[in-house]
C-alpha cells in the first residue's frame, strides 16, 4: 500500500487502541521516508461514520458525564480518562482530515499525519498514567462532541479547519492550565508532567488548523477573520465557551482582534 488516503483510512478504522497507535506510528514513519503519497486515483472518501473505537467507553451526552473532585485517585483517574478520550478522538480527527479532503498540498497531509502521530503518543502517556491509577481506557463514561463536529463539517474543509482545531481542540489550550493548577494542589506531579507536554504540543496542532483554514480562505477568496466568526456563529450557536488562553492562542495563529471578537461571542452565549 502506497496510497496515503488508504493508509489513513486503515488507521481510522482500527478499533483496538493499541493497534490504532501502532498503525499511526507506522504510517507516519512511512510517510516521512517517502513510502506513502496521496494518490489522485484513490477511491473517493466514503460518507463519514463513526471511527474505529473500542466498545468502551460508553458514550453519553456531555451533560451526563459526571464531574469528580481531584482529592481521590478515582477523581484523578476520571480526569486523566477524559483527556485520554480527547486524545483518542484527536487521532481519528487527524486521520479523517488526511483521508477525507483530497487535492490538498503535500504539507497539509504531512501536518495532519504528524498531528496524528503526536496524539497517539499523548494517548499512550495518558493510558500509562491511567494504569498507574488502577484503570484502563473505557472505565469511565465519555461524550462524543469532537466527532459530532467532524460529522457536521465532513462536507467542507474550510469548516473542518475552522471548527475542529481552532474551536474544539483549542479549548484544551484554555482549560489545561487550570487542570494543572488543580493537580498541583493535590501534588500529582506525574499527571502534571504529561499535561504540560500535551499543552506545549497542542499549540502546534491548533496552529496547523489556523494555517490550513487561512489557506482554504485564500483559495476561496474570502476574509479569514469574518469567515471564521461566521462559522463559529453558524455551528456553535450559544455553545461557545471562554475565557480564552490568549498567549497560547496567539502562538497558535489567532490575532488580538479575533480573540476580542470571540470573547464577545462567548459572553453573549
- For the segment 95-116, the average pLDDT, to the nearest whole number, is 98
pLDDT above 80 (res 215): yes
pLDDT at 238: 78
Give the number of other CB atoms < 10 A from CB of residue 163: 25
- For the segment 35-45, the average pLDDT, to the nearest whole number, is 94
Q: What angle do CA 91, 119, 44 make, to 5 degrees?
A: 30
β-pair partners for 37:
3
- For the segment 100-105, the average pLDDT, to the nearest whole number, is 97
Rounded to 10°, the helix 224-236/256-268 angle is: 20
Mean pLDDT of the chain: 95
Considering the segment(s) 71-268 as one domain, its CATH architecture is Up-down Bundle (1.20)
pLDDT above 70 (res 199): yes
> What gap in Å lies between CA 169 and CA 112, rounded to an integer?
14
In the chain, what is the greatest distance between 2 CA atoms, to the nearest angstrom? 55
Give the number of other CB atoms < 10 A from CB of residue 81: 24
Tell me 58's DSSP state.
Answer: P
Per residue in 138-194, pLDDT (tens digit) is 999 999 988 999 999 999 999 999 999 999 999 999 999 999 999 999 999 999 999
pLDDT above 70 (res 72): yes
Residues in the chain: 269
- For the segment 203-209, the average pLDDT, to the nearest whole number, is 97
> What gap in Å lies between CA 252 and CA 2, rounded to an integer?
32
pLDDT at 79: 95
Helices H, strands E: what count in the chain?
A: 11, 0
Q: By the 8 A CB rule, do 160 and 154 touch?
A: yes
- For the segment 56-84, the average pLDDT, to the nearest whole number, is 88
Q: How confident is the model at residue 1 (pLDDT cuts 50, 70, 90)?
A: low
Of 227 and 239, more confident: 227
pLDDT above 90 (res 100): yes
> What gap in Å lies between CA 89 and CA 172, rounded to an integer?
13
pLDDT at 68: 75
> What gap in Å lies between CA 165 and CA 148, rounded to an integer?
14
β-pair partners for 142:
59
pLDDT at 213: 98
Q: What is the pTM of this model?
A: 0.96
* Lowest-pLDDT choice from 66-80, 87-101, 165-179, 220-234: 66-80
Amino acid at each position: 500500500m502506497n496510497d496515503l488516503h488508504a493508509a489513513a483510512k486503515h488507521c481510522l478504522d482500527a478499533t483496538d487502541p493499541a493497534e490504532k497507535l501502532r498503525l499511526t506510528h507506522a504510517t507516519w514513519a512511512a510517510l516521512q521516508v517517502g513510502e506513502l503519497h496521496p494518490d489522485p486515483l484513490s477511491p473517493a472518501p466514503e460518507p463519514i461514520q463513526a471511527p474505529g473505537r473500542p466498545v468502551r467507553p460508553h458514550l453519553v451526552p456531555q451533560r451526563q458525564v459526571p464531574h469528580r473532585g481531584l482529592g481521590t485517585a478515582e477523581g484523578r483517574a476520571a480526569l486523566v480518562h477524559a483527556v485520554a478520550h480527547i486524545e483518542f478522538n484527536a487521532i481519528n480527527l487527524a486521520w479523517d482530515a488526511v483521508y477525507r479532503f483530497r487535492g490538498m498540498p503535500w504539507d497539509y497531509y504531512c501536518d495532519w499525519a504528524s498531528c496524528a502521530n503526536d496524539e497517539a503518543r499523548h494517548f499512550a502517556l495518558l493510558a500509562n498514567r491511567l494504569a498507574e491509577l488502577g484503570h484502563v481506557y473505557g472505565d469511565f463514561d465519555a461524550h462524543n462532541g469532537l466527532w459530532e463536529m467532524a460529522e457536521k463539517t465532513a462536507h467542507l474543509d474550510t469548516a473542518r479547519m475552522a471548527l475542529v482545531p481552532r474551536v474544539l481542540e483549542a479549548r484544551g489550550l484554555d482549560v489545561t492550565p487550570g487542570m494543572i493548577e488543580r493537580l498541583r494542589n493535590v501534588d500529582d506531579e506525574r499527571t502534571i508532567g504529561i499535561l504540560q507536554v500535551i499543552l506545549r504540543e497542542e499549540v502546534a496542532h491548533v496552529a496547523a488548523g489556523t494555517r490550513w483554514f487561512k489557506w482554504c480562505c485564500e483559495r476561496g477568496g474570502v476574509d479569514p477573520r469574518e469567515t471564521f466568526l461566521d462559522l463559529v456563529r453558524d455551528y456553535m450557536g450559544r455553545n461557545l465557551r471562554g475565557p480564552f488562553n490568549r498567549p497560547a492562542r496567539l502562538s497558535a495563529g489567532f490575532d488580538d482582534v479575533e480573540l476580542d471578537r470571540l470573547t464577545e461571542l462567548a459572553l453573549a452565549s
